[in-house]
Amino acid sequence: MEQRLQKLISAAGLASRRQAEALLAAGRVTVNSRVATVGDKADPETDDIRLDGRPLAWPREHTYVMLHKPVGYVTTCRDEKGRPTVLELVSDLQARVFPVGRLDLNSQGLLLLTDDGETANCLLHPSHAVEKTYRLRVRGLAGHPEALERLRAPIRLEEGVTVQAVSVIPRGRDGLDITITQGRNRQVRRMCAAAGLTVLRLCRIQEGELHLGTLPLGKWRYLRPEELRFLQKLRAETCKKPG
């Protein structure tokens, strides 16, 4: 049966659907030797579908790992500027995985990697409003209580999108825990800038029911059973949605 190519690429564990669309737009996907485009469909039973010349294959069992990403690594599978990628930190993993979501070059913390594109899509989809908590050290907070008020209020970003934190909890003189559900590019840093704060350190410590805990910087581990159940619950909720 024919399906959209971004869904097939996601099911093959090569990317989330959003990332798959970028692969299609870049001309890296072919169907029966013809370069495919966003919106194209194919039948995995009868069509020869390839990414970068390699046939798509569907894993029998999926892999889910948590990485404590350090500063200085880009959250991509490869980087045209030659910068180190997060995949270099899981090179000893016997599975081909990709990062779910983003952490910018200068941020660290919890990053999920998997070969399960459908579950990745569920975790990222705005309809689930998965909460993500970031622990920050900032400059400009001491003596400026109005900064907290500004952070807790709706903030309009440059592109015209309004965002608002779920919670903003101060930690000492220069620490904050900020929880959001949206996923705009560099959102937490931009919110802080709008409140007159400079981010000195940013670490994602939680995403839904996934907790970074004491995982050492630069190390990875497999998800625990209770964490896998959280992802399964997201999948089940998606299946219940109409359409």
Query: CB neighbours (10 Å) of residue 68?
Result: 22
74 vs 134: CA distance, rounded Å: 18
Single out the catalytic residue among 104, 115, 116, 177: 104
Architecture of the structural domain at 64-126+211-238: 2-Layer Sandwich (3.30)
Among 19, 240, 211, 2, residue whose Cα is nearest residue 121: 19
pLDDT tens digits, one per residue of 187-239: 999 999 999 999 999 999 999 999 999 999 999 999 999 999 999 888 777 65
- Give the start-to-end residue ranges of the domains of the chain: 3-55, 64-126+211-238, 131-207
- 3-class DSSP state for residue 208? coil
- Provide the CATH number for the domain formed by 131-207 in this structure: 3.30.70.1560
Tokens of 138: 């900032």
What pLDDT sits at residue 119? 85
Q: What angle do CA 205, 201, 150 make, to 5 degrees?
A: 85
CB 98 within 8 A of CB 115: yes
Tokens of 185: 């590019």
Residue 193 per-residue DSSP state? H
What pLDDT sits at residue 60? 66
Largest CA-CA distance found in the chain, in angstroms, rounded: 66
What pLDDT sits at residue 241? 53
Q: Is the dihedral of CA 6, 124, 210, 201 positive or negative?
A: positive
* Residue 198 bridge partners (DSSP): 139
- 48 catalytic, yes or no? no
CATH 3.20.20.60 fits 3-55, yes or no: no
Give me the average pLDDT of each 10-residue run along the chain (243 residues).
Answer: 84 78 91 91 86 80 94 90 94 90 94 89 81 96 88 92 94 94 91 95 97 97 94 74 47
